[in-house]
Amino acid sequence: MSGIGAFGRLLGAAWVLVRNDALLPDELDALYSQPVRTLSKTLRLFAGREARVGRPGERLARSLERLGPVAIKLGQLLSTRADIFGRQFAEDLSRLKDRLPPFPTALARAQIEASLGRPLESVFAAFGEPVAAASLAQAHEATLLDGRKVAVKVLRPAIERRVADDAEVLALAARLVDRWAPPARRLEPRGFAATVIRATELELDLRLEAAGADELCEVMAEDGYMRAPVVIWEGVGKRVLTMEWAKGRPLSEPDALELEGLDRRALAENLIRAFLAQALDHGVFHADLHEGNLFVAAPAQLTAVDFGIIGRLGAPERRYLAEILWGFLQRDYDKVARVHFEAGYVPERHSVAAFAQALRAVGEPIFGQPASGVPMSRVLTQLFEITALFEMRLRPELVLLQKTMMTVEGVARRIDPDHDIWAASEPVVRRWIARELSPANQVRRFAEDARAAVKSLARMAETPFIRAEHVVETEIHHLSPWPWVALGAVLSGLAFLAGTLLR
């Protein structure tokens, strides 16, 4: 797509939203500030017949579906935050998780045979119709020759071209924001867009997803908080992925949480602990944990599917995450502040004590409170304002972590509106702190750093004329400065917009 084509498609996306009255819906007119109300009424002059069909969430879902895979993923994220946007709005968007229109089974069969290089019957004894359809692929129920029930994921035809078009539009939008909206530059729109684009591109090779699923299956088995189906490698190709059938009911089904014997509190705790254990203990985590990718079974069993987006954290990032969470759990705001200054995330010209004071203002009102007692839109608005006050910038390399944190916290709220995020997090964080910050481990890390330094000096001695900056090139990626509810500046901006509209 040319630059002109991308610009035209960006305008087309705005036009779709306006025609559906999905940008600033009429139903919320009384809640808008005067300038926003004026803009809303102006845009509504261009609305079409679609604007009179359905609720705001239904109109937005319809619009995002037309706009393509990247837009649909945004809708999936919004659908997990009923606490911010309202339950009805979130439910109306939930169809974007796994209930999009499927493509014909005949096309799926042809793609599978081309990808595997052999007839369908050589792998499957039976192959059924689609059971779920999402933005990039759809899933079919099938039976292997040995009788095992499996799920077969198949990419949508020509989806690569659609993703490439979306990527160019998103990159263009990021450049326009970066150029014409100076206050938004600290949100690193270009870096954010690049991260989203890269993650989506990786989803287009299902061999990579199979490898990620296999790795996370091993990781999840160590703690038991969450499970992953076993990969059937003989049914894996670039455009097809076969896994054992996930046990339980899809969490996206309206009555999934009404299963007999289901312990909703334990289920919410398992979700939070599963994510934290993956991120802290292993540095790899499932980065797309919305309801459409989770199956539940009594009493508190969680099974994850769709491993197209995998997040990874380096050792420094894991340490910062653990120490920040532990600091909040201990209500030690001075310690949390010092960690951020040590990491360099907050510019040194600011005061450590002032930053600790700001963290206390965020943490104290929500510590130990059930999720139902924490107004997330107000918390995120406050966080957004504080990030600006202390000149904190978004870290693009942590976008997947922040996005997943936002999604997981929202899903846990839906499972158990009264769950305590702090109590759920504490065992996993305490275990990491006790293990990794023990004297023995600190000695081990010191020895490793010493060995690395000696090797670097040896290389310098061998190549005396090499430029110093090329000898040791280490970049420490800093962690987002917030507790569990700190979801990153870009996502906070989303809540800030919501708060502005609802004031």
| CA-based nearest residue to 241, from 269, 197, 209 | 209
Indicate whether 298 and 352 sit together in one domain: no
Indicate whether 93 and 131 sit together in one domain: no
Domain boundary residue, one of 74, 98, 122: 98
Both tokens of 266, joined, read 């334990």
Length of the chain: 503
Indicate whether 147 and 74 sit together in one domain: no
Say if 149 falls within a structural domain.
yes
In whole angstroms, give the CA distance from residue 407 to residue 401.
Answer: 10
Is the C-alpha dihedral spanning 406, 411, 417, 421 positive or negative? Answer: negative
Say if 115 falls within a structural domain.
yes
**pLDDT given at position 484:** 34
Average pLDDT of the residues in 470-497: 37
**295 and 246 in contact (C-beta within 8 Å)?**
yes
Say if 460 falls within a structural domain.
no
Catalytic residue selected from 98, 288, 416, 420: 288
Q: CA distances (Å), 133 to each of 97, 98, 99, 101, 399, in order?
A: 8, 5, 5, 6, 26
Q: Which residue has the higher pLDDT, 444 or 106?
A: 106
pLDDT at 472 over 50: no
Both tokens of 97, joined, read 């998780």
CATH of the domain at 255: 1.10.510.10
Average pLDDT of the residues in 70-75: 84
Our answer to whether residue 281 is catalytic in this structure is no
Average pLDDT of the residues in 91-95: 86
Say if 166 falls within a structural domain.
no
118: left (phi over 0), alpha (psi -120 to 50) or beta: beta
Indicate whether 333 and 264 sit together in one domain: no
Indicate whether 327 and 299 sit together in one domain: no
Indicate whether 61 and 31 sit together in one domain: yes
Say if 182 falls within a structural domain.
no
Amino acid (one-letter) located at 381: T
Q: What is the mean pLDDT of the chain?
A: 85
| CA-based nearest residue to 294, from 140, 483, 97 | 97
In whole angstroms, give the CA distance from residue 306 to residue 293.
Answer: 6
Concatenated DSSP letters of 265-278: HHHHHHHHHHHHHI
Indicate whether 214 and 232 sit together in one domain: yes
Kindly report, residue by residue over 94-136, the tens digit of the pLDDT: 888 778 999 999 999 999 999 999 999 999 999 999 999 988 9
pLDDT confidence tier of residue 32, bands split at 50, 70 and 90: confident
pLDDT confidence tier of residue 299, bands split at 50, 70 and 90: very high
188: left (phi over 0), alpha (psi -120 to 50) or beta: left
In whole angstroms, give the CA distance from residue 79 to residue 86.
Answer: 9
Indicate whether 270 and 353 sit together in one domain: no
Kindly report, residue by residue over 185-206, the tens digit of the pLDDT: 887 888 888 888 888 899 999 9
| CA-based nearest residue to 55, from 22, 8, 98, 84 | 22
In whole angstroms, give the CA distance from residue 208 to residue 205.
Answer: 6
Q: Whose structure tokens read 């030690």?
A: 332
The whole domain housing 388 covers 313-433+477-502
Percent of the chain past pLDDT 90, that is, above it, reads 47
Domain boundary residue, one of 60, 78, 98: 98
pLDDT confidence tier of residue 34, bands split at 50, 70 and 90: confident
Say if 418 falls within a structural domain.
yes
Both tokens of 19, joined, read 């025609």
Q: CA distances (Å), 230 to each of 206, 244, 449, 473, in order?
A: 15, 5, 38, 39
Kindly report, residue by residue over 250-262, the tens digit of the pLDDT: 999 989 999 999 9
Amino acid (one-letter) located at 18: V
CB neighbourhood size of 232 (10 A): 19
Say if 133 falls within a structural domain.
yes
pLDDT at 498 over 60: no
Q: Which residue has the higher pLDDT, 46 or 471?
A: 46
Q: Which residue has the higher pLDDT, 96 or 459?
A: 96
Indicate whether 268 and 304 sit together in one domain: yes
Q: CA distances (Å), 394 to each of 174, 188, 303, 454, 477, in order?
A: 14, 6, 31, 34, 11
In whole angstroms, give the CA distance from residue 340 to residue 327.
Answer: 11
Whether omega before 365 lies within 30 degrees of 0, making that bond cis, reads: no
Stated pTM of the model: 0.80
Element (H, E) at 353: helix 352-363
pLDDT at 147 over 50: yes
Kindly report, residue by residue over 323-364, the tens digit of the pLDDT: 989 999 999 999 999 999 988 888 999 999 999 999 999 889
Domain boundary residue, one of 278, 311, 344: 311
**Which residue stretches of 29-131 are H helix?**
34-44, 56-67, 69-78, 82-85, 87-93, 95-98, 105-116
Say if 447 falls within a structural domain.
no
Both tokens of 352, joined, read 């450590």
Structurally, the chain folds into a number of domains equal to 3
pLDDT confidence tier of residue 487, bands split at 50, 70 and 90: very low
**pLDDT given at position 499:** 38
Indicate whether 317 and 307 sit together in one domain: no
Indicate whether 150 and 114 sit together in one domain: yes
- Top mean pLDDT of 81-90, 122-131, 334-343, 401-410 is at 122-131
3-state DSSP assignment of residue 66: helix
Indicate whether 317 and 416 sit together in one domain: yes
